[in-house]
Chains A and B, each alone.
Chain A
Amino acid sequence: MAGATRPATVRERVADSDRSVGRLLLVAAGALFWGWLVVSWVNRWLGGVLVPVGDPLVPPGAVEATLAAIPGIAAYAADAAFVVELSPEIARGTWLTVVITAASLVVGFFIAVPLAVTRVYGRFSAWVSLAYTELLRGTPLLAQLFVLHYGLNLGSYVPDTLSGVFARNVVWVAIVGFTLNGAAYQAEYIRGAIESVEEGQITAGRAIGLSKLETIYYVVLPQGLRYAIPSWTNEFVYLIKYSSLAAFITVPELYYRADQIASETFRYTLIFIVTGVTYLALVLTASKLMERVESRVSIPGLGVDRER
């Protein structure tokens, strides 16, 4: 068997340390980003325990003064102060972006799995889920949101118990819209993955006396869902970005807030750079998270190492 490990060459050690420095920077940036978000959110929920609601966590004036004292970046001090000043609004919008994405993804998953299963194993139901996925994937998401919001006026049907959760009912409309749409895309990824589960696995399940449904639940899905993780991560990432379409039905999420501030201050470039970086941070978090999940649930011989 594999025996003694060869000592690392200098070049390998340098590459390793480069990689670990890069990792460290990424982790630090992630911690800073999520720390800022969570503290901002908690501060707002608790009615401004740290700083008055709506104020940045650090005073912009102090940031400007500090940076101005550092030669080389002094020229950017005013811009930095401006970014700090708008940070509470960005944090506030990001909250809705995160909530809408997460809720739609999770609820959508529980719709997508039966859709995918019926697509593969159903008879009549296969046609129903085919029709559903094609309809939702074949029409523009924005049009779907408009139908739900302006056409059906879904917001007016939100029950009282749910009404209080968000400041506006239209958030629920967005969650419903992204859930229904995302479920169709997720179903496609999951369908592909469960189709790649070998036929013999099902035969073996049936042969020990599991029903078809039990075989799907205990044998096919645990394997198929693992195969689905990489492509499913794409849907996660897309949804983070697509959630900005909620702005068009007046959901005050990240993009909506950014757009609002930009049209008030006319500082479009800076604001959309900050917004872009925020989306990027969310996307990176999502893909890192899913990488973690993937390696956490990985099984020897399943998935990546499956191809000989």
Chain B
Amino acid sequence: MSDDGFLRVADVSKWYGDEQVLHDVSFEMDRGDVTVLIGPSGSGKSTMLRCVNRLAEAQEGSILLDGEEVLSPDLDVNDLRREVGMVFQGFNLFAHLTAVGNVALGPRRVLGLSEAAARERAEAQLERVGLGDQFDSYPAELSGGQQQRVGIARALAMEPKLLLFDEPTSALDPELIGEVLEVMHGLVDEGMTMLVVTHEMSFAREVADEIVFLDDGRVVERGPPDQLFERPERERTGRFLERIASHD
């Protein structure tokens, strides 16, 4: 791994009221890396992800993205979010817009592209995720797998330098997971930098450069998948992985 420190998360702590949900979380990613966050429910995975695009506010620590301090109060969060795409567990597609409308909204209203250019870009992104035949379908007319692919296309249309995935396949019927993972595999091959929360361990093993295991808001252990899966240093990591494996 070259160490370009594209994303440096250092000692990030976050509280919701009196409850501390992140304790000095640290990890780094290089450009083109795939980092997978794993951990039990309530361990703070989503919160960590949301701190990176400032949907949640970390109170302490530092997050450097491409050398810029994400947590700086002077930072324009909307500028940040143009560059950091997010894919949600529940898809969160704009219910009143077609597939193209969903993907084109950001390019049109945030990037300021013309109507035609935004549509063209949206169509290209939908083709990219295999939805060339669903341009004018509304979210309610699409399967979960298709909806999530629109969600990915929506994030891609902003040409982000980092993509955040929060359990992108957890809400899907098992038979629909494959098509979403396939799209994500494609992005990995293209060299997209991705920070992914998932319980899909085989996917994590295959594509992750590093796995970060969070428990109770703390990084218990992190390392390359082989090491973490085969020779976890911490007992808690082993137990968690066993539990996940028994679900598959």
Task: State the A residues within 8 Å of B (CB).
Answer: 198, 200-201, 203-211, 214, 218-219, 222-223, 226, 299-302, 305
Contacts and interface: CB of A to CB of B under 8 A. Distances in A.
Interface stretch (B1-9, B78-86, B228-236): B78-86
Interface of B: 53, 55, 78-82, 85-86, 88, 90, 92-96, 105-106, 109-110, 138-141, 154-155, 158
A198 B92 CA distance: 9
Given A198-B92, A204-B93, 11 more contacts: A200-B90, A200-B92, A207-B53, A207-B85, A208-B82, A208-B105, A208-B110, A219-B96, A223-B96, A300-B140, A302-B96
A299 B78 contact: no
B93 A206 contact: no
A302 B78 CA distance: 28
Given A204-B93, A207-B81, A300 B86 contact: no
A305 B139 CA distance: 13
30 contacts: A198-B95, A200-B90, A201-B92, A201-B95, A203-B92, A205-B94, A206-B55, A206-B81, A207-B55, A208-B85, A208-B105, A209-B79, A209-B80, A209-B82, A209-B110, A210-B78, A210-B105, A210-B110, A211-B78, A214-B110, A219-B105, A299-B140, A300-B138, A300-B140, A300-B141, A301-B95, A301-B138, A302-B95, A302-B138, A302-B140
Chain A residues touching B, majority SS = helix
A300 B80 CA distance: 33
A222 B90 CA distance: 20
Nearest to A226: B96
Given A200-B88, A203-B92, A299-B96, A209 B138 contact: no
B140 A209 contact: no
Minimum-distance CB pairs A-B, first 6? A301-B140, A204-B92, A208-B106, A200-B92, A209-B81, A209-B110
- Of the candidates A200, A209, A210, A222, the one having the most CB atoms from chain B within 10 angstroms of its own CB is A209
A302 B139 CA distance: 10
Contacts of A223: 95-96
A305 B140 contact: yes
- Of the candidates A198, A207, A208, A214, the one having the most CB atoms from chain B within 10 angstroms of its own CB is A208
